[in-house]
Structure 1
């Protein structure tokens, strides 16, 4: 009489599969992680002005954005890595002591997105941005130019991990690993080794300008980016 053998690792849930075979099989989850130091920074800036009219506010903002864009060549930043197309204007109101709403000029605002491929020049680039009167550094995202390659590497390692686990389990139960019955689509994720570092607190610039020789340049220690992959596989078993 033939016995039905089904081995399922507790590392994964069988519910991830639409079906499993009616014959002998083993279900495994292969997981892997690949880490890399970021070499690209994506920066988000905001330029804002309040003036007596919307036109004056827009003109002021446009001039400062143009000063910013004109200085990008020094950092070898191509225009395809820059987005500065949007602008918004709106009236600004304040309330008097007797709760009456009064117009207090108009605010114009533009956002700029820049991809910096030479991450070693990050501090110099931030200093430049502030020197041309960019109001806010809203966010900095650290990325890897090898993202797609590292994701593929993680998947490949997860597949290898699944096969190694299946072979080990089969051998432990006196069976031989057979062909692959089914493979579930891999799950991928990207995170930072020591928690989220995909943003930097907003920096606002107010008051008088500080001369560069009076302070030490900032140091930015980026966390490694970890690319994770998981693959669920059902193997046939030969006993």
Structure 2
């Protein structure tokens, strides 16, 4: 092979390498999809704590356990499901008081907390009066909840994914491109490091709005992150 043929071969090789490199470039479009829904509470959570102090740990434990048993029976009598009552959270610590700058160990403090969920919100007033009559050491804050929140959140994820797809289609169309395969999707988790090793060009689309529930609002929101492969219409992959 003469030198001219060798140079021609080099040029052809360089062109082939360039074409191959271009074919390996992944153009991507990252979008954020949102969905939200008003949530109506259909149950409430509450907790209350009984506490006793004394020198004999067994005696104060028995006293608190008796109070918890009475409270549990009261809740069941007021249509709280036994499966919605939890009362095994126990705390024991030394009972120490200061007397003229001296710390005196007087025994133990025994605490036990009862947690429950009631599926009848209208029953709250009646139950709180009966619970207060048992003289607990502390009554926790009322929390209104929805029993189907997990199912609603899964449905919202589907809606947020559709929102991401619609947004990607609109953006790609505006740039004379089409959306291809999904390369990554998540409920907010960042893509794995080095996911795009081929250094493909990425168009980022972040929503300027921030959906978050303020205290007192009954709104649940979902955000998903989706990365699509995009390509120009003329370079669409052939099946």
For residues 150-182 of structure 1, the C-alpha deviation after alignment (integer angstroms, 9 at most, x for no partner) is 11221111111112112211222233x242231
Report the CA distance between 1:71 and its aligned residue: 0.7
- 1:227 maps to which residue? 221
How far apart are the structure 2 equivalents of 1:101 and 1:178?
72
- 2:38 maps to which residue? 35
- What runs of 5+ residues in structure 2 fail to find an aligned partner? 1-23, 190-210, 234-239
Q: Is the 8 A contact 2:86 2:114 kept in 1?
A: yes
| TM, length-normalised to structure 1 | 0.68
Secondary structure, aligned partner of 2:60:
helix
Give the root-mean-square deviation of aligned CA atoms.
Answer: 2.5
Superposed, which structure 2 residues align to 1:131-146 within 5 Å?
A: 131-146=133-148
Report the CA distance between 1:36 and its aligned residue: 0.6
How far apart are the structure 1 equivalents of 2:184 and 2:140?
42
- 1:63 maps to which residue? 66
Q: Is the 8 A contact 1:192 1:224 kept in 2?
A: no
How far apart are the structure 2 equivalents of 1:42 and 1:74?
17
Secondary structure, aligned partner of 2:139:
strand
Report the CA distance between 1:192 and its aligned residue: 6.9
- 1:184 maps to which residue? 185
Give the count of matched residue pairs: 189
| Alpha-carbon spacing, 1:25–1:49, altered in 2? closer, same or farther (3 Å) | closer
- 2:173 maps to which residue? 171
Q: Is the 8 A contact 2:36 2:219 kept in 1?
A: no
For residues 50-80 of structure 1, the C-alpha deviation after alignment (integer angstroms, 9 at most, x for no partner) is 2353233222212211110111123211221
- What runs of 5+ residues in structure 1 fail to find an aligned partner? 1-20, 196-221
Report the CA distance between 1:129 and its aligned residue: 1.4
Superposed, which structure 2 residues align to 1:68-79 within 5 Å?
A: 68-79=71-82
Report the CA distance between 1:96 and its aligned residue: 1.9
One of 193, 207, 210 as aligned partner of 2:213:
193
Report the CA distance between 1:24 and its aligned residue: 4.5
How far apart are the structure 1 equivalents of 2:136 and 2:62?
15
| TM, length-normalised to structure 2 | 0.68
| Alpha-carbon spacing, 1:40–1:192, altered in 2? closer, same or farther (3 Å) | farther
- 2:157 maps to which residue? 155
